Amino acid sequence: MTIEMIPLSNIRVSKSNPRKAVDAATIEGLAASIKADGLLQNLVLAKKKGRGRTYEIISGERRYRALSLLVERGDLPADVTIPADIRSGLSDADMLRVATVENLQRENLTPLEEADALNTLIGCGGDLDTLTAQSGLSVSTIKRRVALLRLGEAARTALEAGEISLAQAEALSIGAHSEQENLLQSVVYGWMTSPEDIREALTDRLPSLADAIFPKDAYTGAFITDLFGEDNTTYFSDTEQFFALQKAAAEKLVAEHEKTADWAMLAEGGFAPWEYRQAREDESGGVVVELTVRGTVEVHERLIRKDVATDLDEAVKPKVRPLYSKAVIEYIAMQKSAAVQATLLENPHTAKALDAARRMEALCERIHACPAYLAKLGENSPALDTINAAASEVLAMILPDTETATWLDLLRAARSPEKAFALLKPLAPEALERVCHILSVLEFGQDKLHELDTTEDSLFNMVAREIGVEMTRWWQPGEWFLSRRTMNQLSSIIKDAGVARLYGNGRGYKKADLVRSLAGYFAKLRAMETRKPDQQRTADWLPEGMSFSDSAVSHEAVPQTQSEDQAA
């Protein structure tokens, strides 16, 4: 790379420059700027072999045109020389690649010019990573620009003229050229403006009689037609049969072209123009028979394959049309779902097994946190023992070889609704009812775990009162709870639980010793088969927070001079 002073008259515009549109007003403004301030950025030129002192522009065509305008007006002499960055020793392919990269990086190209430039780089063998690095464009932008290469001349002209937006052009690109032309007027005149509507129009219409290239009598399905039965308003109702017949006919067309062309192939879903160039006069080339997303067939002749990188080809090639459009797929899903629901109403046992299977599979996410919490805590818990026993019973019904199990094993029994359904469907009605019972139970508990539930009519408290939950049956004060009470609170517990006869006010004890002794006495009372009245009073003691009503609000909620965590 060298900087040289080059006569402006020795510079030529490159035919490979991706910029096609040159705005006269922009050139006028640039000429005025150069006249006032001089040339602030050098042109990039290529010295081609065998061309004497002639140079081709790699980057800076607009600056060149502005300088030429100044010469034409007499503001610069005809023999003016300008500083230029000279690239020498470049082959035609190298110059094309460098010119394209320079323009992509430096010039404000239109989307179509970017698409054509990317098409040039694709022809030079660039993969997706290389294109991203050279162009400065994101992968998604590259995909969108390359899609514009599928536009026909009419749609390209409309985009260049600003008659349609870039989003509308991208939507049109999924159709064949003839399909684009059919829709273009509606888009230009504002009758169809939404890109989503354009895509739907190109994909959701039933194939018409005029689209078919196979003998019409080969089709055995029904037709949908208007009053006059014109070919372009008579549609194939059975799209699956239409596409099968159309593909077979397209394959026959490929075979016919193979007899005269270098090669022929079928492209389902859309033609990828970036994979080919047009054959020169002295070349024969091949043929691509395109089966479009809507079922029409177009033939592209005299094509020469480019060496396109595999990752790029896969990233930007059009997707093969699915058998059904999204709207039809949704319609099918709704109809089948309604049919299954109606039939499940006639099969209550299967419906219950299905419900249990879905809940069993979702239990990992929906199970209340209390079983895991109590298991980790390690305290003696009659409630957890009861839950584990029920889980073991249910699991034994599902998997008879299971000897002992806990609620955790129940979670592991079904990792998918399909597996759970296969396990549950053979169960007898009573057994299935038991499974549903425990699944409902394991999902239920207090919602807010870090504040007391003091709402009288909360669902949790309502259910607890309805079934008559007796907390003294399931819980007793243990070391974990008592150690998190302050000495003042422990003195209140001694008084309220009626054990002052044993501990006085508790002040004569070290806290750790008092906690251990109190917990031991509560455990001793639980183990007794019969208790005296004063012992029963102690066994029945509960902190107010353990009740299922608004009485759970107590002095325990009043700020203390020492927090519960500090008390522990």
pLDDT confidence of residue 563: 45
pLDDT confidence of residue 464: 92
Select the more confidently predicted residue: 196 or 315. 196
pLDDT confidence of residue 439: 87
pLDDT in tens, 363-407: 777 889 998 899 998 888 999 999 988 888 888 888 776 666 666
Q: Which of 107-111, 273-277, 423-427, 489-493 has the highest mean pLDDT?
A: 489-493
Domain 1-109 matching CATH 3.60.15.10: the answer reads: no
pLDDT confidence of residue 22: 65
pLDDT confidence of residue 132: 80
pLDDT confidence of residue 323: 57
Q: Does residue 229 surpass a pLDDT of 50?
A: no
Return the closest-CA partner of residue 149 out of 181, 129, 172. 172
pLDDT confidence of residue 317: 55
Q: What are the domain boundaries of the chain?
A: 1-109, 211-308, 347-443, 459-567
pLDDT confidence of residue 39: 87
Select the more confidently predicted residue: 325 or 510. 510
Q: Does residue 309 surpass a pLDDT of 60?
A: no
CA dihedral 253, 256, 258, 259 (to 10 degrees): -170
Select the more confidently predicted residue: 535 or 328. 535
pLDDT over 70 percentage in the chain: 84
Q: Does residue 554 surpass a pLDDT of 50?
A: no
pLDDT confidence of residue 225: 65
Range scoring the smallest mean pLDDT among 178-187, 243-252, 281-290, 412-421: 412-421
Using CB atoms within 10 A of its CB, is residue 116 exposed (0-12), middle (13-18) or buried (19+)? buried
pLDDT confidence of residue 310: 56
Q: Where are the beta strands (DSSP E) in 258-416?
A: 264-269, 276-278, 286-292, 297-305
**Which helix H or strand E contains 68, and what residues bound it?**
helix 61-73
Beta bridge partners, 292, equal 269
Triad 39, 42, 44: Cα angle to 5° = 145
Phi, psi of 13 (to 5 degrees): -75, 135
pLDDT confidence of residue 566: 47
For residues 466 and 452, what is the distance between their CA atoms, to the nearest angstrom?
A: 19
- Considering the entire predicted model, what is its pTM? 0.44
